[in-house]
Amino acid sequence: MRIVVLGGTGHIGRLVVERLENSAQAVVVASRRTGVDAVSGAGLASALDSADAVIDVTNAPHPEGEGVLDFFTAMTSRVIEAELAAGVRHHVMLSIVGAERGVPDGYFAAKAAQERIVADSRMPHTILRSTQFFEFARSIAEWNTTRDTIHLPSTHVQPVAAADVADALVDTAGGAATDRAIDIAGPERMPLPAFVRRVLLADRDERFVVSDENVQTRGFNIASADLLPADGAMLARTTLDDWIRQPVDARTGR
């Protein structure tokens, strides 16, 4: 198979590309770094030439900033149009658990709009909705640190290893399009403060993590019901402890 990875130079994209190369698939890494701009369409037709499937793991330049909705809608519309013209047989999109539940958050709303463009198109597709990656704990900590303390609500999460999501994306691209969305999550549910605390301890980060039900967190004012996977979700095998035991380079994505 010839598979194009949109966003193939990002963290999850690199993991996907590595797995495809190890399985002797023909891989096209498509990103601005490789001369493909999916928003403007520059280099897109050439990248999609003779492609069997596309795995879209692109992310907005500033995921928590303004313009994220415009980025995802413009990019996805352009990609779908180019895929149909090229005869691509399967579009695989990485989304986020909860995007379809009407969460009033900029990034979630943008991913929901992206899903609608894919689902409403004539393009055979599969949408894989992931819970938060283990690595995301560090971003949550950075966004919500005051002096040496991080205040977080006791919202429950079910984070997942990025490597497991990459495996699922590759497996999905190798199969037939389902024209539906599938949730993927890690095997364990835990309170958000406990999740962040365990990752920071593994990083030997000395900041304190405190449960606070009254705090207004940056980037994470979302209830557990909207963050947890739906019944029947695909459950990955890697636990948080398994991930923590990995070498530092594996955990930091370096």
What would the pLDDT profile of 124-170 be if each residue is shown by its tens digit? 999 999 999 999 999 999 999 999 999 999 999 999 999 999 999 99
CB 135 within 8 A of CB 198: no
Q: Would you state the structure tokens that stand for residue 9, as one six-digit string?
A: 């130079």
What would the pLDDT profile of 98-124 be if each residue is shown by its tens digit? 888 876 668 888 999 999 999 999 999
Confidence (pLDDT) at 104: 65
pLDDT tops 90 at residue 97: yes
Q: What average pLDDT is seen over the chain?
A: 91
Confidence (pLDDT) at 23: 85
pLDDT: is 86 or 215 the higher one?
86
User: Mean pLDDT throughout 202-221?
Assistant: 86
CB 231 within 8 A of CB 188: no
CB 166 within 8 A of CB 12: yes
Every domain of the chain and the residues it spans: 2-252
pLDDT tops 70 at residue 224: yes
How do the residues of the chain divide into helix, strand and coil, expressed in percent and rounded to 5? 40, 20, 40
Confidence (pLDDT) at 65: 57
Distance CA 95, CA 99 (A): 7
Q: Determine the number of helices (DSSP H) and then strands (DSSP E) in the chain.
A: 10, 12
Confidence (pLDDT) at 252: 60
What would the pLDDT profile of 19-77 be if each residue is shown by its tens digit? 999 986 799 999 999 999 999 999 999 999 999 999 999 988 766 656 889 999 999 99
User: Mean pLDDT throughout 179-183?
Assistant: 96
pLDDT tops 60 at residue 254: no
- The top-level CATH class assigned to 2-252 is alpha beta
- Hunting for tokens 């990955």 — which residue is that? 236
Q: How many CB atoms lie within 10 A of CB 238?
A: 18
Confidence (pLDDT) at 215: 83
